[in-house]
């Protein structure tokens, strides 16, 4: 068949390109942007400028590692959205220009769909373990917290989602406010491994149905730390491991309570996770332990496929290409899921 797809991802602050051949990953190159660390979050203007500098060498390196010439490509898949508009514009414009120059089709991909399909990335000389349809995906990142029913690679239904902050935002904002650094997820996860998760209790929201809310618990933590430090200025330094462990446990409890409910309501026992927060060790361990207890078949993406990467865009694009979908050259990126 020899369908060779170049995937391009530029939705936030990572410029990435990947090549797959008949669904098998040949290369996956990511250029990260450390410039945002000093600001405690991604600065959109700096991100888009860095994408402009990175995209040509990243694509060239991805083709070189794959041993593929640009003329060998069958199609180019790119992230249309959601994400930062300036960043998306760089990847979209490059993909369309390259497709036009090579006279090959381009395929648009929903960034979230890439995360949902990350478990279908096949690698040479590695055993294939893919979820069966239908399955549930707990999609968790800095901008999204969703429970998604996946009926096939191109058809999804959002069963529940956050009504305010995403879980990744809760990690990042609280880490920043406590002076622990950015990005907050890895920092809190590392400290949590050294602490007692039962030391402190944080109130959990009671949201009907399968929707999430993380704004309240975030505020609760910040007020708790503020009040305790007013009594003891060393409170945070003396207790940060226990605080992180208790906070992380509370967030994971919120995520899993709704996922368990969704599995019961649908009767689905094929369970996956995706998105940047799926790299969290506490969440991964909890998913596996819940799976053993409840008879789930659980699937965890490799760590390198949890963050924004072009391999997931390439595999999603491959499914779209196989279904005969093509994007017109006047297609524009969109920043919001509602505009997709």
Query: What digits encode the pLDDT tens for the residues 23-65?
Result: 999 999 999 766 556 556 677 778 888 889 999 999 999 999 9
Tokens of 258: 């709704």
Tokens of 117: 């399909």
Of 259, 245, 254, nearest to 288 by C-alpha is 259
pLDDT at 48: 86
pLDDT at 340: 74
User: How do 145-152 and 135-140 pair as beta strands?
Assistant: antiparallel
Q: Which residues of the chain have pLDDT under 70?
A: 1, 33-41
Could you give the residue ranges of the DSSP H alpha helices within the chain? 44-66, 85-102, 111-116, 167-177, 184-192, 215-231, 235-266, 281-294, 310-322
pLDDT at 74: 98
**CA distances, 339 to each of 82, 107, 211, 260 (Å):** 8, 17, 21, 30
Asked if residue 13 lies in contact with residue 5, where contact means CB atoms within 8 angstroms, the answer is no
pLDDT at 34: 64
Taking each helix axis from N to C end, the angle separating 184-192 and 167-177, rounded to the nearest 10 degrees, works out to 80
How open is the CA angle 278-283-284, to the nearest 5 degrees? Answer: 70
pLDDT at 32: 76
pTM for this prediction: 0.94
User: How do 75-81 and 4-9 pair as beta strands?
Assistant: parallel
Of 169, 117, 161, 104, nearest to 143 by C-alpha is 169
**CA distances, 253 to each of 93, 180, 185, 256, 339 (Å):** 41, 22, 16, 5, 31
**For residues 224 and 220, what is the distance between their CA atoms, to the nearest angstrom?**
6
């Amino acid at each position: 068949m020899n369908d060779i797809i170049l995937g391009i991802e530029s939705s936030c602050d990572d410029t990435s390109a990947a090549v797959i051949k008949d669904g098998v990953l040949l290369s996956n190159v990511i250029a990260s942007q450390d410039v945002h660390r000093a600001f405690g979050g991604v600065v959109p203007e700096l991100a888009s400028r860095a994408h402009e500098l990175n995209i040509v060498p990243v694509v060239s390196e991805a083709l070189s590692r794959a041993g593929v010439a640009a003329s060998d490509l069958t199609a180019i898949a790119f992230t249309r959205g959601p994400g930062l508009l300036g960043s998306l514009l760089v990847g979209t414009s490059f993909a369309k220009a390259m497709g036009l120059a090579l006279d090959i089709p381009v395929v648009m991909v929903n960034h979230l769909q890439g995360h949902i399909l990350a478990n279908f990335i096949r690698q040479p000389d590695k055993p294939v373990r893919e979820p069966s349809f239908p399955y549930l995906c707990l999609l968790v990142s800095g901008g999204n917290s969703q429970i998604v029913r996946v009926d096939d690679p191109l058809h999804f239904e959002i069963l529940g989602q956050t009504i305010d902050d995403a879980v990744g935002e809760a990690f990042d904002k609280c880490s920043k406010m406590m002076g622990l650094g950015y990005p907050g997820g890895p920092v809190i996860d590392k400290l949590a491994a050294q602490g007692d998760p039962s030391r402190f209790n944080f109130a959990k929201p009671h949201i009907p149905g399968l929707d999430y809310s993380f704004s309240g618990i975030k505020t609760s933590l910040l007020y708790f730390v503020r009040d305790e430090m007013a009594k003891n200025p060393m409170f945070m330094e003396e207790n940060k491991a226990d605080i992180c462990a208790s906070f992380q446990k509370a967030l994971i409890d919120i995520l899993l309570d709704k996922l368990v409910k969704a599995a019961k309501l649908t009767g689905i026992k094929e369970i996956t996770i995706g998105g940047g927060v799926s790299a969290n060790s506490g969440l991964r361990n909890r998913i596996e332990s819940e799976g053993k207890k409840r008879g789930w078949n659980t699937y965890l993406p490799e760590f390198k496929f949890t963050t924004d990467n072009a391999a997931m865009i390439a595999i999603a694009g491959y499914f779209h290409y196989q279904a005969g979908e093509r994007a017109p050259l006047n297609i524009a990126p969109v920043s919001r899921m509602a505009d997709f």
